[in-house]
Amino acid sequence: MMPSYQMQVLGTIRSPYKQKFAIPRQPGLIAEAKAELVLEPGYDDDAIVRGIEAFSHLWLVFVFHETANKGWSPLVRPPRLGGNEKKGVFATRATFRPNPIGLSVVKLEGVVRKQGRLIIQLSGVDLLDGTPILDIKPYLPYADALPNAAGGFADAAPETDMTVSFEPAVLQFCQRQKDQPELAVLIEKVLKQDPRPQYKKQKAEQQSYGMTLYHFNIKWTVNGVHNHVTEIRHVKE
Protein backbone atom coordinates (compact mmCIF):
# COMPACT_ATOMS: atom_id res chain seq x y z
CA MET A 1 0.00 0.00 0.00
CA MET A 2 1.22 3.47 -0.83
CA PRO A 3 1.18 5.91 2.08
CA SER A 4 -1.75 8.27 2.44
CA TYR A 5 -1.55 11.81 3.73
CA GLN A 6 -4.01 13.69 5.83
CA MET A 7 -4.59 17.34 4.90
CA GLN A 8 -6.29 20.26 6.56
CA VAL A 9 -8.97 22.38 4.94
CA LEU A 10 -7.49 25.90 4.99
CA GLY A 11 -10.60 27.74 3.91
CA THR A 12 -13.99 27.47 2.26
CA ILE A 13 -15.35 29.07 -0.91
CA ARG A 14 -18.49 31.20 -0.93
CA SER A 15 -19.59 31.21 -4.54
CA PRO A 16 -22.69 32.22 -6.52
CA TYR A 17 -22.86 28.65 -7.87
CA LYS A 18 -25.14 26.68 -5.57
CA GLN A 19 -25.26 23.49 -7.63
CA LYS A 20 -22.89 21.83 -10.12
CA PHE A 21 -25.26 22.47 -13.01
CA ALA A 22 -24.37 25.81 -14.65
CA ILE A 23 -20.82 26.11 -13.32
CA PRO A 24 -18.35 26.82 -16.14
CA ARG A 25 -16.01 23.95 -16.94
CA GLN A 26 -12.89 25.98 -16.23
CA PRO A 27 -12.02 29.22 -14.40
CA GLY A 28 -11.67 32.57 -16.17
CA LEU A 29 -14.63 32.02 -18.50
CA ILE A 30 -17.07 34.20 -16.53
CA ALA A 31 -15.31 37.16 -14.88
CA GLU A 32 -18.56 38.21 -13.14
CA ALA A 33 -18.49 35.02 -11.03
CA LYS A 34 -17.21 36.62 -7.83
CA ALA A 35 -16.35 34.46 -4.83
CA GLU A 36 -14.90 34.73 -1.35
CA LEU A 37 -12.37 32.36 0.15
CA VAL A 38 -12.96 32.45 3.90
CA LEU A 39 -9.86 31.26 5.74
CA GLU A 40 -10.30 28.93 8.71
CA PRO A 41 -9.16 29.84 12.23
CA GLY A 42 -5.50 28.79 12.53
CA TYR A 43 -4.85 29.88 8.92
CA ASP A 44 -6.29 33.37 9.21
CA ASP A 45 -3.50 35.42 10.75
CA ASP A 46 -2.78 38.52 8.63
CA ALA A 47 0.79 37.22 8.25
CA ILE A 48 -0.37 34.26 6.13
CA VAL A 49 -1.31 36.53 3.20
CA ARG A 50 1.52 39.06 3.51
CA GLY A 51 2.67 39.95 -0.04
CA ILE A 52 -0.20 38.15 -1.80
CA GLU A 53 -1.70 41.36 -3.23
CA ALA A 54 1.37 41.75 -5.49
CA PHE A 55 -0.03 38.86 -7.56
CA SER A 56 -2.97 39.23 -9.94
CA HIS A 57 -3.94 35.54 -9.96
CA LEU A 58 -3.81 32.58 -7.58
CA TRP A 59 -3.83 28.82 -7.98
CA LEU A 60 -6.35 27.12 -5.76
CA VAL A 61 -5.98 23.45 -4.89
CA PHE A 62 -9.35 22.15 -3.73
CA VAL A 63 -11.47 19.09 -3.01
CA PHE A 64 -14.32 18.14 -5.36
CA HIS A 65 -16.32 17.70 -2.17
CA GLU A 66 -19.72 17.24 -3.81
CA THR A 67 -18.60 14.19 -5.79
CA ALA A 68 -15.66 13.00 -3.66
CA ASN A 69 -17.43 9.83 -2.48
CA LYS A 70 -18.77 8.86 -5.90
CA GLY A 71 -15.70 6.92 -7.03
CA TRP A 72 -13.77 7.17 -10.28
CA SER A 73 -12.92 5.16 -13.34
CA PRO A 74 -9.80 5.11 -15.56
CA LEU A 75 -11.82 6.20 -18.61
CA VAL A 76 -14.15 9.22 -18.72
CA ARG A 77 -16.29 10.90 -21.38
CA PRO A 78 -15.26 14.57 -21.64
CA PRO A 79 -18.28 16.82 -22.39
CA ARG A 80 -16.05 18.69 -24.87
CA LEU A 81 -16.10 15.58 -27.07
CA GLY A 82 -19.90 15.43 -26.99
CA GLY A 83 -19.86 12.68 -24.36
CA ASN A 84 -19.24 10.04 -27.06
CA GLU A 85 -15.52 9.48 -26.79
CA LYS A 86 -13.57 8.09 -23.84
CA LYS A 87 -10.25 9.46 -22.59
CA GLY A 88 -8.01 8.42 -19.71
CA VAL A 89 -8.88 10.29 -16.54
CA PHE A 90 -5.35 11.74 -16.43
CA ALA A 91 -5.93 13.18 -19.92
CA THR A 92 -8.93 15.14 -18.62
CA ARG A 93 -9.95 17.62 -15.93
CA ALA A 94 -12.87 15.42 -14.87
CA THR A 95 -14.14 15.71 -11.30
CA PHE A 96 -14.22 11.92 -10.73
CA ARG A 97 -10.53 11.19 -10.04
CA PRO A 98 -8.56 8.76 -7.83
CA ASN A 99 -7.84 11.70 -5.50
CA PRO A 100 -10.77 14.14 -5.85
CA ILE A 101 -8.50 17.19 -6.16
CA GLY A 102 -9.16 20.18 -8.41
CA LEU A 103 -6.88 22.97 -9.56
CA SER A 104 -8.11 26.39 -10.70
CA VAL A 105 -6.37 29.64 -11.50
CA VAL A 106 -8.52 32.58 -10.38
CA LYS A 107 -8.22 36.36 -10.27
CA LEU A 108 -7.30 37.95 -6.93
CA GLU A 109 -9.61 40.91 -6.28
CA GLY A 110 -8.51 41.77 -2.74
CA VAL A 111 -7.99 40.71 0.85
CA VAL A 112 -10.34 41.96 3.56
CA ARG A 113 -11.35 41.21 7.11
CA LYS A 114 -15.10 40.98 7.72
CA GLN A 115 -16.60 40.19 11.12
CA GLY A 116 -13.20 38.95 12.27
CA ARG A 117 -12.76 36.51 9.33
CA LEU A 118 -9.88 36.86 6.87
CA ILE A 119 -11.31 36.73 3.34
CA ILE A 120 -9.59 36.50 -0.04
CA GLN A 121 -11.87 38.03 -2.71
CA LEU A 122 -11.75 36.28 -6.10
CA SER A 123 -13.36 36.36 -9.52
CA GLY A 124 -13.67 34.07 -12.52
CA VAL A 125 -14.21 30.98 -10.37
CA ASP A 126 -15.47 27.57 -11.49
CA LEU A 127 -16.15 26.44 -7.91
CA LEU A 128 -19.25 25.25 -6.12
CA ASP A 129 -20.35 27.08 -3.00
CA GLY A 130 -18.76 25.35 0.02
CA THR A 131 -15.70 24.02 -1.86
CA PRO A 132 -12.92 23.18 0.65
CA ILE A 133 -9.52 24.70 -0.20
CA LEU A 134 -6.34 22.72 0.47
CA ASP A 135 -3.76 25.21 -0.76
CA ILE A 136 -3.29 28.64 -2.29
CA LYS A 137 -0.27 29.53 -4.44
CA PRO A 138 0.52 32.62 -6.49
CA TYR A 139 0.31 32.26 -10.28
CA LEU A 140 3.77 32.87 -11.74
CA PRO A 141 3.49 34.04 -15.37
CA TYR A 142 7.12 33.18 -16.23
CA ALA A 143 6.66 29.57 -15.16
CA ASP A 144 2.92 28.93 -15.49
CA ALA A 145 2.03 30.65 -18.81
CA LEU A 146 3.13 28.46 -21.72
CA PRO A 147 1.88 30.06 -24.94
CA ASN A 148 3.18 27.23 -27.16
CA ALA A 149 1.72 24.38 -25.12
CA ALA A 150 -0.56 21.84 -26.85
CA GLY A 151 -4.13 21.78 -25.47
CA GLY A 152 -5.19 18.36 -26.74
CA PHE A 153 -8.96 18.05 -27.28
CA ALA A 154 -9.53 21.32 -25.35
CA ASP A 155 -7.13 23.72 -27.04
CA ALA A 156 -9.48 26.76 -26.90
CA ALA A 157 -12.26 28.02 -24.66
CA PRO A 158 -15.58 26.38 -25.56
CA GLU A 159 -17.80 28.45 -27.86
CA THR A 160 -21.52 28.24 -28.45
CA ASP A 161 -23.91 30.19 -30.66
CA MET A 162 -26.48 30.48 -27.85
CA THR A 163 -28.30 33.80 -27.45
CA VAL A 164 -30.07 35.13 -24.35
CA SER A 165 -33.06 37.42 -23.78
CA PHE A 166 -34.87 38.43 -20.57
CA GLU A 167 -38.47 39.09 -19.63
CA PRO A 168 -38.53 42.85 -18.79
CA ALA A 169 -39.68 42.04 -15.21
CA VAL A 170 -36.62 39.81 -14.72
CA LEU A 171 -34.26 42.57 -15.86
CA GLN A 172 -35.97 45.07 -13.56
CA PHE A 173 -35.63 42.61 -10.66
CA CYS A 174 -31.90 42.24 -11.41
CA GLN A 175 -31.40 46.01 -11.53
CA ARG A 176 -32.92 46.31 -8.05
CA GLN A 177 -30.31 43.94 -6.51
CA LYS A 178 -27.75 46.48 -5.38
CA ASP A 179 -25.62 43.75 -3.68
CA GLN A 180 -25.17 41.93 -7.01
CA PRO A 181 -24.88 44.67 -9.63
CA GLU A 182 -23.67 42.19 -12.27
CA LEU A 183 -26.45 39.64 -11.75
CA ALA A 184 -28.02 39.97 -15.22
CA VAL A 185 -24.61 39.71 -16.94
CA LEU A 186 -23.75 36.66 -14.84
CA ILE A 187 -27.03 34.97 -15.82
CA GLU A 188 -26.48 35.85 -19.48
CA LYS A 189 -22.92 34.48 -19.53
CA VAL A 190 -23.91 31.29 -17.69
CA LEU A 191 -26.67 30.62 -20.24
CA LYS A 192 -24.47 31.52 -23.24
CA GLN A 193 -22.12 28.68 -22.31
CA ASP A 194 -25.12 26.31 -22.61
CA PRO A 195 -24.99 24.39 -19.32
CA ARG A 196 -27.48 21.73 -20.47
CA PRO A 197 -26.37 18.10 -20.40
CA GLN A 198 -25.32 16.79 -23.81
CA TYR A 199 -28.34 14.51 -24.34
CA LYS A 200 -30.75 17.45 -23.80
CA LYS A 201 -28.98 19.55 -26.45
CA GLN A 202 -30.05 17.11 -29.15
CA LYS A 203 -33.78 17.60 -28.38
CA ALA A 204 -35.59 19.88 -30.81
CA GLU A 205 -38.62 20.94 -28.74
CA GLN A 206 -38.66 23.88 -26.31
CA GLN A 207 -37.47 22.92 -22.82
CA SER A 208 -37.60 24.65 -19.43
CA TYR A 209 -34.76 24.77 -16.92
CA GLY A 210 -33.98 26.21 -13.51
CA MET A 211 -30.85 27.06 -11.54
CA THR A 212 -29.83 28.86 -8.36
CA LEU A 213 -27.26 31.66 -8.47
CA TYR A 214 -26.49 33.48 -5.21
CA HIS A 215 -29.87 33.34 -3.41
CA PHE A 216 -31.99 33.56 -6.54
CA ASN A 217 -33.95 30.85 -8.33
CA ILE A 218 -33.88 31.51 -12.06
CA LYS A 219 -36.01 29.87 -14.73
CA TRP A 220 -35.55 29.94 -18.49
CA THR A 221 -36.63 28.20 -21.64
CA VAL A 222 -34.46 27.00 -24.50
CA ASN A 223 -35.74 26.99 -28.05
CA GLY A 224 -33.09 25.99 -30.58
CA VAL A 225 -30.11 28.22 -29.79
CA HIS A 226 -32.14 30.79 -27.91
CA ASN A 227 -32.48 31.09 -24.12
CA HIS A 228 -35.26 33.23 -22.69
CA VAL A 229 -35.13 34.05 -18.95
CA THR A 230 -38.72 33.92 -17.76
CA GLU A 231 -38.59 34.16 -13.97
CA ILE A 232 -36.38 35.10 -11.04
CA ARG A 233 -37.25 34.82 -7.34
CA HIS A 234 -35.51 34.89 -3.99
CA VAL A 235 -34.80 31.37 -2.71
CA LYS A 236 -37.32 30.58 0.02
CA GLU A 237 -35.60 30.35 3.43
Asked if residue 211 lies in contact with residue 23, where contact means CB atoms within 8 angstroms, the answer is no
Q: Which of 43, 95, 171, 192 binds ligand SAM (CB under 6 A)?
A: 95
CB under 6 A: which stretch of 17-25, 28-36, 42-50, 212-220 binds ligand SAM? 17-25
Q: Is 11 in the site for ligand SAM (CB under 6 A)?
A: no
Q: Is 166 in the site for ligand SAM (CB under 6 A)?
A: no
- Nearest-CA neighbor of 60 among 128, 143, 149, 142? 128
CB under 6 A: which stretch of 51-59, 97-105, 107-115, 142-150 binds ligand SAM? 97-105
Q: Show contacts with ligand SAM in window 109-128 (CB under 6 A).
A: 126-128
- Nearest-CA neighbor of 79 among 234, 204, 195, 189? 195
Q: Which amino acid is at 47?
A: A
Q: Which of 14, 25, 86, 107 binds ligand SAM (CB under 6 A)?
A: 25
Alpha-carbon distance 54 to 130, whole Å?
27
Q: In the complex with ligand SAM, which residue's Cβ is closer, 15 or 227? A: 15
* CA-derived radius of gyration, the chain: 19
How many CB atoms sit inside 10 A of residue 195's CB?
18
Q: Is 65 in the site for ligand SAM (CB under 6 A)?
A: yes
Alpha-carbon distance 49 to 53, whole Å?
8
Binding site for ligand SAM (CB under 6 A): 20, 23, 25-27, 64-67, 93, 95, 102-104, 126-128, 131
